[in-house]
Amino acid sequence: MISSQKVFMVTANQIFNVRIDMVKKLITYLILLLGMALACQSAYAEVLDKIIAVVEDDVILENDLQREVAVIAQRIQSSNTAMPPEHVLRKQVLEKMIVEKLQRQLAEKAGISLTEEMLTSSATDIAQRNNMTLDQFKQELQKQGLSYQSFLDNMRSEIVISQLRGKEIGERIKVTDREIEHFIETEDKTGDGLGQYHLGHILIAVKEGASSAAIQKAKAKADELVKALRSGQDFTKIAMSDSDASNALKGGDLGWQTKSDMATFFVDAVSKMAEGDVSDPIRSPNGFHIIKMLEMKGVGKHMITKSKVRHILVKTNELIDDAEAQKRLSALKQRIADGDDFAALARAHSDDKGSALKGGLLDWVGPEDLVKPFQEAMEKLAINEISEPVQTQFGWHLIQVLERENKDNTSEHKKNQIRDIIRKRKIEEETELWLRRLRDESYVEIYQDRL
């Protein structure tokens, strides 16, 4: 018989052994946790080391910056433009990335997005405009060292930002008839409304509410740059190094513009400039602008071919599909060939009630007055010839051209362009202000020591 004291000793030894095992396991577990924590801390420190900038609730990493710098550098080299110093290029590219990221964040908050189908459709359109299939376009991108996915990502960003700007700015822009009249009375007095100017642009930015000292400092810098440019220093290189404008990485190139396209505060300076001239600093709400007249083109006549045309329209609906619409118009064309009057048939059968009352007559029309399929079909017709049924977004048409004549459309063309010109000018000015305000009012921290 086993004594109770022996039983107790055995049980105590078992408990003691179990506790020793538990302590060993706990120590092992704590060592593992400590190792994981140290590893995580190391990984976290490594990520922190790679952060170049914090942009609101997102970051820009060194790899992102390097990739974008490489793309921009390749673009600069291919344009045979002098490469700015690396630290200047990195700074300019980073600023571009910050502004783009802020816009994408804002677009996301506004619910602006693109589906993969929409992206593919846009890519297909670009390929077709370059006379390529989508597969050929992908191959061409690979030859240029660009991946198709990177192209799609960039295109998504550009489209989303464009839609955001349309929502934030475009919807607010209005052009009144009085503004159009005022433009004609003032800015087009010299008759050079169609004159074109190739401009270079540098902006020395000034923040909203900046102190007098900050404004004077920006003005002094602008004066120094003007002096350097007039002494013969390279405009493109200085624009890349010193301009705060969104097109700095393009060497400040604004492309060809009419006076009506450009910012309002440029017009007076441009009117007094000859080719090669550099303007004095021009003050605006954004800061101080410097422009250079790179090239100029004179005014020329704008000739167009106008056509006196009539048509018969058959719209599709639940009862009339495409095949039925074509069948009806083909029957009407045969009746006209057999001697029936086009005007009488248009009055009786055309679904375009406005022109039907005039026997289908649209009167004199120019290229800007018609939808593309109608215009293309009309241009192929001889005088009095009647087309086959032609489909547009409005339905199916029979088209007949009665007369054609070439007209000097310079005056009318200028007037037709003015509304779009004023709108474009307003959008550009508002966009520059909006981007500057977005940048100034957002939380951005740049790790200067990592640039």
Residue 221 lies in a domain: yes
* pLDDT of 374 higher than 90: yes
In terms of residue numbers, what domain contains 14?
4-51
**Same-domain status, 295 and 307:** no
Report yes or no on whether pTM surpasses 0.85: no
Give the least confident one: 12-16, 80-84, 93-97: 12-16
**Same-domain status, 69 and 145:** yes
Of the candidates 160, 156, 115, 120, the one whose C-alpha atom is nearest the C-alpha of residue 138 is 120
**Same-domain status, 164 and 193:** no
Angle between helices 212-230 and 235-242 (to 10 degrees): 160
Give the least confident one: 66-70, 108-112, 389-393, 418-422: 418-422
Give the residue from 171, 197, 216 where a domain finishes.
171
What confidence tens digit (pLDDT) does each residue in 272-323 have?
Answer: 888 899 999 999 988 999 999 998 876 456 778 889 999 999 999 999 999 9
Confidence at residue 192, expressed as pLDDT on a 0 to 100 scale: 55
Residue 358 lies in a domain: yes
Residue 293 lies in a domain: yes
For residue 247, name the pLDDT band (cuts at 50, 70, 90): confident
Considering only residues 353 and 22, tell me which one the structure prediction assigns the higher pLDDT: 353
**Same-domain status, 266 and 307:** no
Give the least confident one: 8-17, 163-172, 228-237, 435-444: 8-17
Calpha distance 146→70 (Å, rounded): 11
Which runs of E-coded beta strand occur in 14-135?
51-55, 58-61
Confidence at residue 439, expressed as pLDDT on a 0 to 100 scale: 92
Confidence at residue 346, expressed as pLDDT on a 0 to 100 scale: 96
DSSP, residue by residue, 331-352? HHHHHHHTT--HHHHHHHH-S-
Considering only residues 331 and 76, tell me which one the structure prediction assigns the higher pLDDT: 331
First to last CA, the chain: 84
Percent over 90 (pLDDT), the chain:
44
**Same-domain status, 72 and 163:** yes
Per-residue pLDDT, averaged over 55-64, amounts to: 91
Would you say 296 and 335 are in contact if contact means Cβ atoms under 8 Å apart?
no
Confidence at residue 11, expressed as pLDDT on a 0 to 100 scale: 43
Calpha distance 2→263 (Å, rounded): 106
Confidence at residue 194, expressed as pLDDT on a 0 to 100 scale: 56
Q: How many helices (H) and strands (E) does the chain have?
A: 15, 11
Residue 178 lies in a domain: no
Of the candidates 209, 123, 110, the one whose C-alpha atom is nearest the C-alpha of residue 158 is 123
Confidence at residue 42, expressed as pLDDT on a 0 to 100 scale: 45
Would you say 353 and 295 are in contact if contact means Cβ atoms under 8 Å apart?
no
For residue 341, name the pLDDT band (cuts at 50, 70, 90): very high
Residue 255 lies in a domain: yes
Calpha distance 14→150 (Å, rounded): 66
Calpha distance 425→266 (Å, rounded): 11
Main-chain phi, psi angles of 310, to 5 degrees: -135, 160
b/e string for 46-78 if b means 16 or more Cβ within 10 A? eeeeeebbebeeebbeeebbeebbeebbeebee
Considering only residues 202 and 74, tell me which one the structure prediction assigns the higher pLDDT: 202
Residues 6 or more apart in contact with residue 285 via CB below 8 angstroms:
208, 433
* 335 token code pair: 């009746």
Residue 182 lies in a domain: no
**Same-domain status, 233 and 261:** yes
Helix (H) or strand (E) holding 154: helix 148-168
Hey, which of 116-125, 130-139, 341-350 has the most confident mean pLDDT? 341-350
Residue 67 lies in a domain: yes
Query: The domain that contains 370 carries what CATH number?
Result: 3.10.50.40
Angle between helices 148-168 and 116-129 (to 10 degrees): 100
Q: What is the mean pLDDT of the chain?
A: 84
Q: How many domains does the chain have?
A: 4
